[in-house]
Each structure stands twice: as C-alpha cells, then as structure tokens.
C-alpha cells in the first residue's frame, strides 16, 4: 500500500512534506534563473513589467527638455557638456549637447476681449538638447541607465549648476 491511514507515503513521508519540498525546489530554480539573467543583461523595472535590454543594441538619442518662463540667471547657468541627472533616482540621463533660448510668451486678454501673445519681461523659454544612448521599445524610449523617457512628461532634473522640472518636448534616435 502506497498511503497508510495517516496519509504518509510508504509510511514515512507525508504528501504535504513532498509539496513543501517541491515548492522550495521550484523557488530556488526560479531565483537561480533570475540571477543568471541579471548577470548577463541589464534589468530595467517599468512598473510591474520587467524589460531586459542589452547595451549592445543601443542607439544615440537626443532628448529635448523644455523649461518655460525661466530667468536669465538660470538660462546662463546651463552649460553645454554638463551631465544631466534624474533628481529622484540620481540616474544619468545624458550630456547637454545644445541650448536653445527664446523670450517667453504668454497669452494676454486686452480690454476689448482680444487675445494677443505678449512677451514676458526678463523670462525665457529654454530647451536643453541632451545627448544619450538608449533604445526604443514597445513601451517607449529608455536610456542605457534605465530612465524611461516619455514625451510630454515633466522630469525633475539636476546638473552641476541647476535643478529644474522641464517637460520632455522631443525624443529622437539619431543613429
């Protein structure tokens, strides 16, 4: 008889004991497989999904970060060649390649109800072009440092001289 009246297999091992041992073996195998992937590839967390990306498939990317209505002192503190980091995670986003600046404008309603675009005194719209490496996937653009770049999203960034929250105004693969 395989099972006795106490539910033990061959009178020695319980079925529950076998299930516990089986669960432990499957867990250890899963952990070993995950560690193997981590050692061979860069693992980037995107919410509940895991994206495995290899840096060998990376392309050069340009990210446009637009700041609206900044003072001239902030505009002048931005330096081409500075590294741009995510304030929240300290991940490197890229290096400033170019800075575009123009007087900031705002819609103003005149006394007769007409809406006109008016220059805001001493304020500028500044676009920082950041060069980095990364790739485009089905879920968006990712830098090689794991930053998920979303068009139209605000990002808290910092350089050696400024800290700001610009809007992603463009993302392009330049290769």
Same domain, 80 and 112: yes
How many percent of the chain have pLDDT more than 70? Answer: 82
Domain count, the chain: 2
Same domain membership, residue 101 and residue 17:
no
92 & 20 share domain: no
Task: Indicate whether 119 pLDDT > 70.
Answer: yes
Q: State whether 67 and 130 are in the same domain.
A: yes
> Which of the pair, 52 or 143, is modelled with greater confidence?
143
137 contacts 53 by C-beta, under 8 angstroms: yes
Q: Same domain for 91 and 162?
A: yes
Instruction: Give me the mean pLDDT over the 18-42 stretch.
Output: 81
Q: Are residues 118 and 159 in the same domain?
A: yes
pLDDT per position as a tens digit, 61-116: 999 999 999 999 999 999 999 999 999 888 899 999 999 999 999 999 989 999 99
Domain assignment present for residue 136? The answer is yes
C-beta separation of 86 from 63 below 8 A: no
Q: Do 119 and 149 share a domain, yes or no?
A: yes
In a domain, 95, yes or no: yes
DSSP label of 168: E
Please indicate, yes or no, whether residues 95 and 18 belong to a single structural domain of this protein: no
Whether residue 114 sits in one domain with residue 74:
yes
Per-residue pLDDT reduced to its tens digit, 35-76: 776 655 444 444 433 444 444 578 899 999 999 999 999 999
Question: Per the structure block, which two tokens stand in for 98?
Answer: 């170019």
Domain presence at residue 69:
yes
Please tell me the predicted confidence (pLDDT) of residue 10. 65
Same domain, 86 and 34: no
Tell me how far apart the alpha carbons of residues 1 and 5 are, in angstroms, rounded to a whole number: 10
Q: Say what the pLDDT of residue 50 is.
A: 43
Q: Where are the alpha helices (DSSP H) in the chain?
A: 15-40, 72-77
**What mean pLDDT do residues 12-32 have?**
86
User: To which residue do tokens 């005149």 refer?
Assistant: 110
How far is the CA of 170 from the CAs of 63, 85, 117, 129, 141, in angstroms?
6, 17, 24, 9, 11
148 and 98 housed in the same domain: yes
**Residue among 98, 66, 90, 63 nearest 145 (CA):** 90
**Residue 43: per-residue pLDDT:** 47
Domain range for 18 is: 8-39
Per the model's pLDDT, the better-predicted residue between 55 and 167 turns out to be 167
Examine the domain organization and report whether 70 and 132 are in the same domain: yes
Structural Rg of the chain based on CA atoms: 27
For residue 91, which of 168, 25, 24, 143 has the smallest C-alpha distance?
143
Rounded average pLDDT over 124-128: 95
């Amino acid at each position: 008889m395989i099972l006795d009246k106490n539910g033990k297999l061959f009178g020695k091992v319980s079925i529950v004991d076998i299930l516990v041992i089986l669960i432990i073996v499957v867990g250890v195998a899963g952990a070993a497989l995950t560690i193997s992937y981590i050692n061979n590839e860069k693992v980037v967390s995107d919410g509940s999904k895991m994206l495995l990306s290899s840096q060998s498939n990376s392309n050069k990317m340009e990210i446009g970060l637009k700041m609206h209505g900044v003072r001239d002192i902030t505009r002048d503190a931005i330096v081409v060649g500075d590294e741009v980091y995510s304030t929240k995670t300290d991940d490197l986003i890229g290096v400033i390649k170019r800075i575009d600046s123009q007087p900031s404008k705002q819609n103003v309603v005149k006394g007769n109800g007409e809406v006109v675009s008016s220059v805001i005194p001493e304020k500028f719209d500044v676009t920082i072009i950041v060069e980095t490496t990364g790739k485009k996937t089905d879920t968006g653009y990712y830098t090689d440092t794991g930053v998920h770049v979303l068009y139209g999203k605000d990002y808290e960034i910092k350089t050696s001289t400024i800290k700001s929250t610009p809007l992603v105004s463009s993302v392009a693969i330049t290769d």
